Amino acid sequence: MDVLNDFITVLNSTLRLSTPLLLACLAGLFSERAGIFDIGLEGKMLCAAFFSAAVAAITGSVWIGMAAGIASSLALSALHGVASITFRGNQLISGVAINFLAAGMTVLIAQSWFKQGGRTPSLKGNGRFNPVELPVAESLKDIPVFGPIYQGLISGHTILVYVALLMVPLTWWILYRTRFGLRLRAVGEAPEAVDTAGVSVIKLRFAAVGICGVLCGIAGAYLSTGLQAGFVKDMTAGRGYIALAALIFAKWRPGYALISCLLFGFLQAIALRPDLIERYLSFKVQIQLLDVLPYILTVIILAGFVGKATPPRAGGEPYVKEQ
């Protein structure tokens, strides 16, 4: 039973740590599939994390908080869109600018609203997402193996974890089974063809960047009101960049995105338990190695050792008519 318990605690932690990565990764997927590179995932998540926590602290409702978080993330998305779609600016530079803007702005506003050193007050009760008990979890827990897994691992997460997992099939369905998805993928590969067909490249790209903003908003809200009970400066701690790495690792596909985010989350979770690694593998693993492994894996994938990661062909290029 001990093995099962260890297994459940590590996988629980994996799920919690993977969720923000997964949401941000899918956000990046929509944007990049439409040909807009987005290095500003980190900034958008941070901004959403702050506004979710701040508004939830003021109104006492986590849902209003999350709406505010999504709105703030959408505003940054719009900025990115205007800079890189309308004015055809460099997408990477616009993304970096968003990261800097979010890092500075959140602390500044937090300090002027709450005067707690760039923090928001601790959220209580309905101000944060509480764990959801799935039906009959309590009564099933005595069934061997399945009971503890259902009650301990599958049940008992905040609702956003389930939302993130459901986003994976939904993303696949939108991209591969709807007309909008077909056009969105086309606009990232050959925007001139989409334009010739009489569909607006600009509108499609703005729609993709908007979806990206919503997903980043949910990811940020999950960080500050699901995993935590408040905002702390720079609390995204590089998760936006890991999500970008996961996106490359997933070769810009929703199903693979789930796998790569779970893998990266698992590596982070196992790094928290050096005692378990030692017990089951009977040798010590450097924690730093586990921390750096996602990046090493991404470099290996990029270098073409394990299949080829081909980014969308028109990615990073602003679209200019009749060129």
Residue nearer to other proteins on the CB measure, 118 or 294? 118
Give the SS3 label for residue 198: coil
In whole angstroms, how close is the CB of 237 to other proteins at the nearest point? 4
C-alpha dist (Å) from residue 272 to 11, 17, 235, 290, 294: 12, 11, 18, 10, 15
User: Of residues 237, 285, 289, 300, which one binds other proteins by CB under 8 A?
Assistant: 237
* Ranges within 289-318 binding other proteins (CB under 8 A): 291
| Choices 143-151, 162-170, 229-237, 254-262 (CB under 8 A): range interacting with other proteins | 229-237
In whole angstroms, how close is the CB of 107 to other proteins at the nearest point? 9
* Ranges within 84-143 binding other proteins (CB under 8 A): 111, 115-119, 122
Contact between 228 and other proteins by CB under 8 A: the answer reads yes
Residue nearer to other proteins on the CB measure, 84 or 268? 268
Residue nearer to other proteins on the CB measure, 275 or 322? 275
In whole angstroms, how close is the CB of 104 to other proteins at the nearest point? 10
Contact between 54 and other proteins by CB under 8 A: the answer reads no
Contact between 281 and other proteins by CB under 8 A: the answer reads no
Give the SS3 label for residue 72: helix
**What is the C-alpha radius of gyration for the chain, rounded to an integer number of angstroms?**
20
In whole angstroms, how close is the CB of 13 to other proteins at the nearest point? 5
- What percent of the chain is helix, strand and coil (3-state, nearest 5)? 70, 0, 30
Count other Cβ atoms within 10 Å, centred on residue 152: 18
Provide the β-strand partners of residue 132: 157
C-alpha dist (Å) from residue 24 to 157, 187, 221, 276, 313: 19, 21, 12, 29, 21
Residue 17: which of 271, 276, 296, 230 has the closest Cα? 271
* Contact indicator for 311, 247 with CB cutoff of 8 Å: no
In whole angstroms, how close is the CB of 28 to other proteins at the nearest point? 19
Q: How far apart are CA 275 and CA 255, in angstroms?
A: 32
Residue 310: which of 185, 193, 199, 205 has the closest Cα? 185
Contact between 232 and other proteins by CB under 8 A: the answer reads yes
In whole angstroms, how close is the CB of 2 to other proteins at the nearest point? 11
| Choices 28-36, 53-61, 81-89, 224-232 (CB under 8 A): range interacting with other proteins | 224-232
Give the SS3 label for residue 312: coil
In whole angstroms, how close is the CB of 235 to other proteins at the nearest point? 6
User: Residues interacting with other proteins, by CB under 8 A?
Assistant: 5-6, 9, 13, 16-17, 20, 111, 115-119, 122, 223, 227-230, 232-235, 237-238, 268-269, 272-273, 275, 287-288, 291
